[in-house]
Copies of this chain bind each other. A is one copy, B any other.
Amino acid sequence: MAGSVFGVLVRLTTFGESHGKAVGGILEGIPAGFSINVEEIQKDLDRRRPGQSAIVTQRKESDRVQLLSGIFDGKTLGTPIGFLVENEDQKSKDYDEMQHAFRPSHADFTYQQKYGIRDYRGGGRSSARETVSRVVAGSIARQILETKGIRIDAFVDQVGSLKWEGEWTTELKTISESNSVRVPSEELASQMETLIREVRKEGDTIGGAVRCAISGVPAGLGEPVFDKLHAELGKAMLSINAVKGFEIGSGFDAISMRGSEHNDLFTPDGKTKTNYSGGIQGGISNGMPIDFRVAFKPVATLIQEQETINESFEPVSLKAKGRHDPCVVPRAVPIVEAMAALVILDYYLIQNAYQQ
């Protein structure tokens, strides 16, 4: 186990360093006979792509996915779907200084400690470029889920201390996907964009949060006691680069709540009046929308001078070159959706195994 396989029945295995030949993966366990729309995958990749707007990194990757197997005459065969995306715009020279110095709060140091060797160019395997494979796989999983009436919507709900406080409805997706921040409010979008531009001007970065709503999930998904649905969703989200926290439903707010206030009372249709549970009770979906939130730290790579050490543990000063994101959350939205899709489809199939 080196940690590049995810899932039980729906399993994604990925490979690829940032500045190697390609990133890609193998997605297995996708049911047979489904039509896959490659343009939809490409659309999700474009939502993740560098250079898509003024507030993200200007690295220029066209990120065209190549599907190598598992699909025949436009339909899934039930066999593994191999795919890859070539790495194109590699300015490896930008990373020469990082060959010997460790960027603070980056994985440079820990990869060196763990493996005794690392591909320092662009962060190598630790680069968020790895998430290209997640988006491809998640997009395929999502297309299957849509045929079951399951819909996954992620959006940015916070950048720095600017926080969106509304109530999510799927109609808001039109707004969140029409601004470069991916927040469901045009006004906030403009404020957040201004903030991100300011931060970037200073060579600095800033944190943010992505919220995700999943509707149409039937009651019954999740495998207690260890593989509870929100535990697996949590692991999936925490495995995304730069994530520092995960909460479901009421999340950290639950700490200061009373049971009498927090309990979601049932209505006679089997739904609940409130949804502090976030759609999951006892680790099993209850039929209400699944609702979770993911905290992203500010990007570690700064375009400003920082004190650090080199491989001999000597103090050195480092100022990154290269093209980096001042704030990851706009590009993280399709990644969150992708990981959610993989988890939900996997547990959907597992639950289906037990239906007569």
A68 to B308, CA, bound (A): 32
- A349 within 8 Å of B (CB atoms): yes
Chain B residue at minimum C-beta to C-beta distance from A280: B110
User: Contact flags (1/0) for A81-116 with B, using CB distance below 8 Å?
Assistant: 110100000000000000000101111011101111
Known contacts A107-B284, A282-B106, A33 near B115 by CB under 8 Å = yes
- A32 within 8 Å of B (CB atoms): yes
| Contact residues in B for A238 (Cβ distance below 8 Å) | 228, 230-231, 234-235, 246, 248
| Contact residues in B for A20 (Cβ distance below 8 Å) | 68-69, 72
| Contact residues in B for A297 (Cβ distance below 8 Å) | 250, 254, 257, 262, 276
Known contacts A109-B286, A268-B314, A272-B104, A204 near B81 by CB under 8 Å = no
- A38 within 8 Å of B (CB atoms): no
A26 to B352, CA, bound (A): 22
User: Contact flags (1/0) for A112-130 with B, using CB distance below 8 Å?
Assistant: 0111111100001110001
| 8 additional A-B residue pairs with CB within 8 Å, beyond A159-B255, A226-B236 | A8-B8, A17-B69, A68-B84, A77-B115, A78-B117, A84-B84, A244-B278, A257-B298
| Contact residues in B for A175 (Cβ distance below 8 Å) | none
Known contacts A13-B13, A282-B111, A117 near B248 by CB under 8 Å = no
| Contact residues in B for A107 (Cβ distance below 8 Å) | 224, 281-284
- A169 within 8 Å of B (CB atoms): no
| Contact residues in B for A315 (Cβ distance below 8 Å) | 268
Closest 6 CB pairs of A and B: A107-B282, A3-B223, A15-B82, A245-B247, A3-B227, A205-B259
Known contacts A69-B20, A72-B17, A244 near B239 by CB under 8 Å = no
A78 near B255: Cβ-Cβ < 8 Å: no
Chain B residue at minimum C-beta to C-beta distance from A316: B266
| Contact residues in B for A296 (Cβ distance below 8 Å) | 254-255
Shortest C-beta distance, A134 to chain B (Å), equals 9
A102 to B160, CA, bound (A): 41
Chain B residue at minimum C-beta to C-beta distance from A287: B113
A44 to B199, CA, bound (A): 48
| Contact residues in B for A351 (Cβ distance below 8 Å) | 114
Chain B residue at minimum C-beta to C-beta distance from A324: B259
| Contact residues in B for A36 (Cβ distance below 8 Å) | none
| Contact residues in B for A104 (Cβ distance below 8 Å) | 263-266, 272
Question: A201-240: which residues lie under 8 A (CB-CB) from chain B?
Answer: 202, 204-209, 219-228, 230-232, 234-236, 238-239
- A153 within 8 Å of B (CB atoms): no
Shortest C-beta distance, A73 to chain B (Å), equals 9
B14 near A2: Cβ-Cβ < 8 Å: no
B266 near A70: Cβ-Cβ < 8 Å: no
| Contact residues in B for A264 (Cβ distance below 8 Å) | 104-105
Binds B, one of A55-63, A178-186, A299-307: A299-307
